[in-house]
Amino acid sequence: METTIDIQAESFVRDLAAAIVAPRAGECLACYLDRVVRDAPCDGSLRLSRMYRDALAPRAVALESRLESGGGFCDCEVLMNVYWSKAEEVKPCRGARRGSTKPCDLWFRRRRGDGW
């Protein structure tokens, strides 16, 4: 009988690209996207945000609708429209609570209607 761990390990071996985009424990959503979008160009969906959610915050089922309501309809738009960094350099991540999709305090959530 295969355990979930076996299946995960297998798919990692099969798809090495998955290892590059794997969220790191303790890394917040915004820092994760900032790091990974450089290596795994946005494909026009919230693919990476979903991957982060599934790996670290599986109970955050409303994540996509929250991001979309802030203008983030794909991974790069999340960084353009939803979460803005407070500094040029957003490394290292200050850390996220496990199970939470809240970014660390290097980021703030842009309010609708701000700017422009």
Task: Report how far Cα 92 is from the mean position of its chain's Cα atoms.
Answer: 15
CA–CA separation, 38 and 104 (whole Å): 20
Total number of residues binding Zn ion (CB under 5 A)? 7
* Residues in contact with Zn ion, shown as a per-residue x/- string from 5 to 24 under the rule CB under 5 A: --------------------
Closer by beta carbon to Zn ion, 9 or else 71: 71
3 state SS of 65: helix
CA dihedral (84, 17, 62, 96) positive or negative: negative
Q: Which of 18, 40, 42, 55 binds Zn ion (CB under 5 A)?
A: 42
Q: Which residue has the tokens 């700017």?
A: 115
- Straight-line distance from the first to the last Cα atom of the chain, in angstroms, rounded to the nearest whole number: 57
Does 37 engage in binding with Zn ion (CB under 5 A)? no
Does 28 engage in binding with Zn ion (CB under 5 A)? yes
Minimum CB separation from Zn ion for residue 28, in Å? 3
* Residues in contact with Zn ion, shown as a per-residue x/- string from 45 to 84 under the rule CB under 5 A: -----------------------------x-x--------
Cis peptide before 92 (omega within 30 of 0): yes
Binding footprint of Zn ion on the chain (CB under 5 A): 28, 31, 42, 74, 76, 93, 104
